[in-house]
Amino acid sequence: MKCALTTRDPEETLSLGAAIGAAARPGLVVTLEGGLGAGKTVLAKGIAKGLGVPGWKYVTSPTFALHNVYQGRLLLHHIDLYRLGRAEEIDGLGLDDLLGGSDVCVIEWPDLFWRELPADRLSVRFSWGASDERALDVESSGPLSDEVLKRTARAPNGAETAER
């Protein structure tokens, strides 16, 4: 399933993330692609909010830590692979133990690591629109991510949706 979404400001991006977090199920993997400042971390913060993470406002990109963990309704692993340059570098992170388990994983900058990620994932690609607008191409690729995307598309999140 594919959806084209538009968020007009960071608050709408946050709301969309909250809808994804509310719809999330154990084992969900969400990949976030887009340039610096595109809204990836804002969406991750929203997912934390939707999962009921008490300190969701303080979710930041783990660019230097690589991996932050937050407790909500489900455990949220927020992973940022920006600083990794080769696929071999992912081996030491222990992602095999996290992906597809009972937690939710949000992965920023997955570009070099597609082969290591599960086939069933929710992929979000950000691009710039006019002013503060963000165009988001969201694609699910299996039964779990399909279910989450369908639930998210029905949620009143303020984002304009065009299903493809």
User: Which CATH number is 153's domain given?
Assistant: 3.40.50.300
Residues 6+ apart with CB under 8 A from 103: 26, 27, 74, 75, 76, 77
Q: Which residue has the higher pLDDT, 84 or 58?
A: 58
| CA pair distance 133, 14, nearest whole angstrom | 13
Report d(CA 90, CA 148) in Å as an integer: 26
pLDDT tens profile 63-99: 767 889 999 999 999 988 876 665 556 666 666 677 7
User: How many domains are there within the chain?
Assistant: 1
- With a cut of 50, say whether residue 27 has pLDDT above it: yes
Q: What is the mean pLDDT of the chain?
A: 86
Radius of gyration of the chain (CA): 14
Boundaries of domain holding 56: 2-163
pTM of the model: 0.88
Percent of the chain with pLDDT over 70: 84
pLDDT score recorded for residue 164: 38
Does the pLDDT of residue 57 top 80, yes or no? yes
